[in-house]
Amino acid sequence: MTTDSIGGHDGPYAAPILVAEQRVLPEWIDYNGHMNVGYYGLAFDRAIDQLFDQQLGNGEAFVRAAEQGLFVLQSSIQFLRELKQGQSFSVRFQLFDHDHKRIHFWAEIQAEGQICATQEVLAMNVDHASKRATPFPDWLQARLTQMQADHNALARPAQLGAKIGIRRG
């Protein structure tokens, strides 16, 4: 087991980070003729995996070698516009906060210049053997500190921390 860095870089980081483009696959389309809600989660997950691999270095290779990785504690997705079969989209990522074992971030799926969905996530670093929270390695803590500093000037989305409910009146 190793907790050494595997990939990524020490920054500076783009603000926000634009993750490589994806395309809506035919099997993601539901009987309403648009991308099914479950696949939005998959699209966000694929983008975040790519970000962890390429930017922070805590992606799949690190998780397997270190036997620790991020577990999502809470996630909220807002669906703003339909995505159709074959449509290309990208995901923008913004880090809001972190401490020695948790991160709070925001992601947006964008297509044709419009935000189609947003996701807010709180995740915690977990040791796979004990299934308990464990601190990030020092190198990852330093990278998260740099990324948060690079993202601090970004506007906070109005939907951040949004409550769910039926609006009346």
Q: How many residues does the chain have?
A: 169
**pLDDT tens-digit map of 11-34:** 999 999 999 899 999 999 999 999
Q: Report yes or no: 35 and 83 within 8 Å, Cβ to Cβ.
A: yes
Q: Which of 28, 57, 30 is nearest to 43 (CA)?
A: 28
Structure tokens at 68: 């620790």
Quote the CA–CA distance of 124 and 73 in Å, as a whole number.
7
User: Which residues, at least 6 apart from 14, have a Cβ–Cβ distance to it below 8 Å?
Assistant: 150
Average pLDDT over residues 123-140: 98
* Per-chain mean pLDDT for the chain: 96
Q: What is the CATH number of domain 17-151?
A: 3.10.129.10
Quote the CA–CA distance of 45 and 58 in Å, as a whole number.
14
Q: Where are the domains of the chain?
A: 17-151
